[in-house]
Chain A
Amino acid sequence: MRVIQDTVVIAAVEKMCIEANCHLCEDVKSAIEKGRKEETSPIGQYILDQLIENAEIADSCNMPICQDTGMAVFFVEVGNKVLIEGRNLTEAINEGVRRGYTQGFLRKSVVADPFFRENTKDNTPAVIHYEFTEGDRLKITFAPKGFGSENMSRLKMLNPSDGMEGVKEFVIDTVLKAGPNPCPPIVVGVGIGGTMEMAALLAKKALTKPIHEKNPVEYLDRMENEILEKINETGIGPGGLGGKTTALCVRILVYPTHIAGLPVAVNINCHAARHAEVVI
């Protein structure tokens, strides 16, 4: 067994929380810059220029790109030869979030109960998804999720006969309904298959994939490009004010499903598309 101290996890999470919120990822930055070069709508160009300038200010002042520093979402891969000493892994991650959001002057956006809505004042609890893998390493992926885009996400249980066309239609319809609200240019995560909650989880996980990474499954890669093209033909544009840069990319993940079903979930992310990864 390889022993990892809880303090190592806490420090890594604290650092990730601050960095992911203050520094736009290179893949996202280059996608926005590419969009700016290709954008023909003047108002679209104006919005993209503001976003580029905003990212530069955030980077140089070490301040959040967006005030909605999100609910802290984690995907954690735990090797079967890893032992965490001290606090359990969930507590360690939450302690890292607590410290990161406090030390980094990030916004605390979490309320303890969905009805009584009292702020927890340290942005905990995080939403953590675990996966168990071979080996002696711990891989933590962090994707803080703002709710301007989260609120525009949707899930539908399609019929198997709806097929690929039904899925494409649902994704595009979701983007059209969202319009300007999720802060376009957006990143679109799509989860297909599994059960209801598995589709949602896949859609969220899809948002953590680097933008320029080609989908290893050929038909999915084709589908991603087709949907992206259609989304960018809608004219929603940057900030929803018109243009062709509506989405930076579409990412699809699939999972085996039931003979009776075709669940599909669409999780929309804003143009900041924050994600970070660390391997311990």
Chain B
Amino acid sequence: MKNIVKLTTPLDPNRIETLRCGDFVEITGTIYTARDAAHKRMKEMLEKNMSLPFDLSGQIIYYAGPCPAKPGQVIGSIGPTTSGRMDVYTPLLLKQGLAGMIGKGKRSQEVIDAMIRYKSVYFGATGGAGALISKCVKKAEVIAFDDLGTEAIRRLYVEDLPVIVLIDCKGNKLYKEFDK
């Protein structure tokens, strides 16, 4: 039986230091969705010295764009999208205090370097398990960029969201390199 680490948000820096790549984790608490278009806008806001739609300190961003909720549902399917597309924006957000990211797939060396520098963690959710993951989402509300539709920033309250540590704050990676 695998050992599961229970985490709550906002993330405690001391807890982040104890997480190691390969750890099975269940997250409970508030997390935020943001993907391509929302990242682009956040970068533009930071360049204009505007404050972001939410304070990033200690928070987790989930790279996801959900399906619309049916009547009676909290949210539609909501699995992770490929994190690598956010790599160009990520170091900037880590610098602002972002403590964790949930997505799928590889990250760039620049992101890993910034993760080590700012002590943050990258979790993997199972790609394509959007229906399963939706059951962990207990509350969802759009807090910014409503015009972006699925790409808007949503505040989610999740319970026991199952993830695996893909890259820890020391830069250890779970994915093996296959294309070298």
* Interface of A toward B, CB cutoff 8 Å: 42-43, 46-47, 50-51, 53-55, 57-58, 61, 63-69, 105-109, 117, 119, 121, 148, 151, 173, 176-177, 179-181, 183, 234-236, 239-242, 270-272
A65, B131: Cα distance in complex, Å: 6
* Interface of B toward A, CB cutoff 8 Å: 2, 37, 64-70, 73, 76-79, 81-82, 84, 104-106, 124, 126-132, 134-135, 148-151, 162, 164, 174-176, 178-179
Contact of A66 with B77 in the complex, beta carbons under 8 Å: yes
Residues of A within 8 A of B134 (CB): 63
Residues of B within 8 A of A240 (CB): 104-105, 175
Contact of B176 with A105 in the complex, beta carbons under 8 Å: no
| 20 A-B pairs in the complex with CB atoms less than 8 angstroms apart | A50-B129, A51-B126, A53-B132, A54-B126, A63-B73, A63-B77, A66-B77, A68-B81, A105-B67, A107-B67, A117-B37, A119-B148, A119-B150, A148-B81, A179-B178, A181-B105, A183-B128, A235-B178, A241-B175, A270-B128
Known A107-B65, A242-B176; contact A67-B82, beta-carbon cutoff 8 A: no
Contact of A105 with B69 in the complex, beta carbons under 8 Å: yes
Known A51-B126, A148-B81, A179-B105; contact A63-B178, beta-carbon cutoff 8 A: no
Write the chain B residue with the least CB distance to A118.
B147
> B87 to chain A: closest CB distance in Å?
12
> B172 to chain A: closest CB distance in Å?
14
Known A50-B129, A148-B127, A270-B127; contact A241-B76, beta-carbon cutoff 8 A: no
Residues of B within 8 A of A58 (CB): 77, 130-131
Contact of A179 with B70 in the complex, beta carbons under 8 Å: no
> A13 to chain B: closest CB distance in Å?
19
Contact of B128 among A54, A106, A117 (CB under 8 A): A54
Contact of A177 with B67 in the complex, beta carbons under 8 Å: no
Contact of B127 with A239 in the complex, beta carbons under 8 Å: yes
Contact of B67 with A64 in the complex, beta carbons under 8 Å: yes
> A169 to chain B: closest CB distance in Å?
13
Write the chain B residue with the least CB distance to A270.
B128
Contact of A67 with B69 in the complex, beta carbons under 8 Å: no
A109, B68: Cα distance in complex, Å: 12
A168, B139: Cα distance in complex, Å: 48
Write the chain A residue with the least CB distance to B177.
A179
A11, B81: Cα distance in complex, Å: 31
Known A57-B131, A63-B70, A64-B76; contact A180-B106, beta-carbon cutoff 8 A: yes
Residues of A within 8 A of B105 (CB): 148, 179-181, 240
Contact of A64 with B77 in the complex, beta carbons under 8 Å: yes
A234, B179: Cα distance in complex, Å: 10
Contact of B131 with A61 in the complex, beta carbons under 8 Å: yes
> B155 to chain A: closest CB distance in Å?
17
A251, B76: Cα distance in complex, Å: 32
Contact of A47 with B126 in the complex, beta carbons under 8 Å: yes
> A278 to chain B: closest CB distance in Å?
23
Known A67-B64, A148-B82, A239-B124; contact A179-B179, beta-carbon cutoff 8 A: yes
Residues of B within 8 A of A183 (CB): 104, 127-128
Write the chain B residue with the least CB distance to A57.
B131
A106, B66: Cα distance in complex, Å: 9
Contact of A234 among B73, B150, B151, B178 (CB under 8 A): B178
Contact of B79 among A66, A173, A234, A235 (CB under 8 A): A66
Q: Find the residue from A47, A64, A117, A179 having the highest chain B CB count within 10 A.
A: A64
Write the chain B residue with the least CB distance to A109.
B150
Contact of A67 with B78 in the complex, beta carbons under 8 Å: yes
Contact of A180 with B104 in the complex, beta carbons under 8 Å: yes
A50, B127: Cα distance in complex, Å: 10
Contact of B130 with A66 in the complex, beta carbons under 8 Å: yes
Write the chain B residue with the least CB distance to A239.
B126
